[in-house]
Structure 1
Amino acid sequence: MSTIDYSDKIPNNVNLSEDRTLQRALEQWQPNYLKWWDDMGPDGSQNFDVYLRTAISVDPQGWAQFGHVKMPDYRWGIFLNPAEADRKIHFGDHKGEAAWQDIPGEYRANLRRIIVTQGDTEPASVEQQRHLGLTCPSQYDLRNLFQVNVEEGRHLWAMVYLLHKYFGKDGREEGEALLERNSGNADNPRILEAFNEETPDWLSFFMFTYFTDRDGKFQLCALAESSFDPLARTTKFMLTEEAHHMFVGESGVSRVINRTCQVMNELKTDDPAKLRAAGVIDLPTIQRYLNFHFSVTIDLFGADESSNAATFYSTGLKGRYEEGKRTDDHQLRGQFYKVLNVQNGQLIEKEVPMLNALNEVLRDDYIKDSIGGVERWNKVIEKAGIPFRLTVPHKAFHRNIGLLKGVKVAPDGRVISESEWAANRDNWLPSEGDRAFVASLMGRVVDPGKFANWIAPPVMGINRQPVDFEYVRFA
């Protein structure tokens, strides 16, 4: 069933009405979700009519329709990719067996932990971004923010459905807890540290959607390989929506760079002070924001060596990125992978069993993918004729997890002393002054077709609409 049933209270393509117990449980969770959205979702936006896309099918072509809708009326629901007939497990100890439609009892605890951790990131990012609408640089950007927000909300629904359907009372309690934790809350924070960071300005938002939503892509791709078929089908559809979030980040940073380069050429200067006085974000500041968001995000992949990662793979719960395209035995026994360690003040590579290094394998795949977008940003700078290049810092830079936790490493990969780190920290990561300056630019622009001075307009609008289309109708 690929078409989504919107006649139900909870839109779905999983025949929810045939499971009355599950339907009742989710209908009891729904008002709690709406209260969370009202309390912690986009600030002051309840009465706006927003030009949003809504999933109407899970077919790759024509899966969404666009129209103005009030966000509290957005039809959040439960959508799984169509089942693949006779799907087989293609990695780990159960390779070759039929994919599971129910969870083997011995794997329930680990699978629940995976689903809860993924589910926790979805509302967390909405909470991190809830005030950004008050300082939007344009109506186009405001609409993109709200689209990201409603889809992160739907991704929460996707995980809560799995918890309710397959984990009984424990799953229902976990579903409640997903609404009780809050980003940055001192007493009940979100599970992963990157989702407790503030997203205080739009440059941070664009970096977050480029780097941190890309982590989401890689985690979802790994889960889309899962032997537990409902999880694989759920995450495959989530990936369809996730692509837009990364587009918002990549195009947003590109437009900031484009505007900065225009002003650099108009004023014939690369002096950050003069550029700031002209109301644009200088390229060295953009580099520092990049360094911060990249380093915080690669910590999300976990410790370099992890027995949990080995267990998740061997038991078939979580695969690798593009597992099916890899040409090894998909069991990895007797195979090795290099991870970084520090010895005598130097970074060294050491070989460890690949099963224990799977977090690092996924992190390295992510890094390659991230560099691609940074190179596209560099083409914008190059086209403007400016001799400056943005770079992704070394993967040991500013790390707070695993073997590299707390090791002081410069962006070029040199292990340095505490004093050298202290002397250069504000050259490598956003300083309080940088954040205050960027915050000072964040004035609200909402006239159709108008844009804040620090960002260029997009090349085209959403869904073939003109750039000056009325994307948000205010009450």
Structure 2
Amino acid sequence: MASVELSERIPNNVGLSHDRRLRRALEAWQPQFLEWWNEMGPADSQAREVYLRTATSVDRKGWASFGYTHMPDYRWGVFLAQPQEERKIAFGEHRGEPAWQEVPGEYRAALRRLIVIQGDTEPASVEQQRLLGLTCPSLYDLRNLFQVNVEEGRHLWAMAYLLHAYFGRDGREEAEALLQRRSGDEDKPRLLGAFNEQTPDWLSFYMFTFFTDRDGKYQLSALSESGFDPLARTCRFMLTEEAHHMFVGITGLSRIVTWLAMTRMCRRPDLSD
């Protein structure tokens, strides 16, 4: 496994400094990503310094490094979980065979489709949540929203890396298309219907992070068992970040339920009852 390259333009542990073709491709994609972020990321937030968690490595000491940063300067990067030595495919027709380090030709289309759909959900949720910061109930909620947003952006980077690294020209075109579609757009909508719905208020956001991100966790858990090892390692690391998204939904709904219960308890009884 390559060492963590934090000084590179794109922080990574996949050896971009030794792969000039892939590095150039991702560095060409990076300005398009930043343009998308500035257009569709959290509204009126680009000048703010936010206390954010940023991954600097994939071990326990580095995956959760905290500090203040402007969101456009956030160090999005490419991180894969540590490889498992002599990993075998755990199920299916190829059970017991060595995990694939390259894309098998017979599964190329299916794997590309899975990666594209997963990648499409990441920027879509940022677009759905773009205006929520303007009505946040507290600074605590605002910080949690921004943390979710930057991590969805990094998950997009994870899928874009796989497309660039393993799927040639088709992959590069698909990675560009991830930045061209828009949630709810009539002409270029997101691929899954749930990610074209509006998230107009914080209750909707809490429900999204409680239910949809829970579904996303199971999707990532399934992909983390993939016979295609780079996809499996990518999703194993993404799962460390997905837990916080579910936490936001669980605690947000818990606060609402508690507030409703307290309101009911404090309400004066109706003497006519």
Q: Which interval holds the TM-score relative to the shorter structure?
A: over 0.9
Whether contact under 8 Å (1:2, 1:58) holds in the other structure is: no
- Counterpart of 2:4 in structure 1 is 4
Alpha carbons 2:2, 2:15 under 8 Å: kept: no
The answer to whether residue 73 in structure 2 is matched with residue 67 in structure 1 is no
Shift of 1:249: 0.3
Partners of 1:213 and 1:268 lie apart in 2 by: 39
Structure 2 counterparts to residues 49-88 of structure 1, below 5 A: 49-88=49-88
Change (3 A) 1:266 1:172: same
- Cα distance, 1:4 vs. partner? 3.1
SS in 2 for 1:230: helix
CA RMSD of aligned residues (A): 1.2
- For residues 287-343 of structure 1, the C-alpha deviation after alignment (integer angstroms, 9 at most, x for no partner) is xxxxxxxxxxxxxxxxxxxxxxxxxxxxxxxxxxxxxxxxxxxxxxxxxxxxxxxxx
Shift of 1:118: 0.4
Q: Is the 8 A contact 1:121 1:195 kept in 2?
A: yes
Give the secondary structure class of the aligned counterpart of 1:53: strand
Gaps of 5+ in 1: 271-475
Separation in structure 2 between the aligned mates of residue 241 and residue 225 of structure 1, nearest angstrom:
17
Aligned counterpart, 1:144: 144
Q: Which runs of 5+ in 2 are unaligned?
A: none
CA positional deviation for 1:25 = 0.3
Retained in 2: the 8 A contact 1:3–1:56? no
What TM-score comes out, normalization by structure 2 length? 0.97
2:32 maps to 1:32 = yes
Q: Which amino acid aligns with 2:153?
A: G
Matched residue, 1:329: none
Amino acid at match of 1:197: E
How far apart are the structure 2 equivalents of 1:123 and 1:215? 17
Query: For 1:54-133, what aligned pairs fall within 5 Å after superposition?
Result: 54-133=54-133
Residue in structure 2 matched with residue 48 of structure 1 by the alignment: 48
Output the CA distance in 2 between the equivalents of 1:76 and 1:268.
52
Deviations 1:196-251 (CA, angstroms, capped at 9, x unpaired): 00000000000100100111100000000000000000000000000000000000
TM-score for both structures, normalised by structure 1: 0.56
In structure 1, what is the equivalent of residue 158 of structure 2?
A: 158
Secondary structure at 2:179's aligned position in 1? helix
* Fraction of identical pairs, as percent: 69
Q: CA deviation at 1:109?
A: 0.4
SS in 1 for 2:53: strand
- Equivalent positions of 1:39-438 (< 5 A) are 39-268=39-268
How big is the shift at 1:2? 7.8
The answer to whether the 8 Å contact 1:78/1:157 transfers is yes
Are the counterparts in 2 of residues 51 and 66 from structure 1 also a CA contact under 8 Å? yes
The Cα of 1:63 is off from its aligned counterpart by 2.3
Letter in 2 for 1:204: S
Say which SS state the counterpart of residue 180 (structure 1) adopts. coil
Could you say what secondary structure the match of 2:66 adopts?
strand
Higher helix share: 2
State the distance in 2 between where 1:18 and 1:33 align: 23
Residue 78 of structure 1 contacts residue 158 of structure 1 at CA under 8 Å; is this kept in 2? yes
SS in structure 1 at match of 2:89 = coil
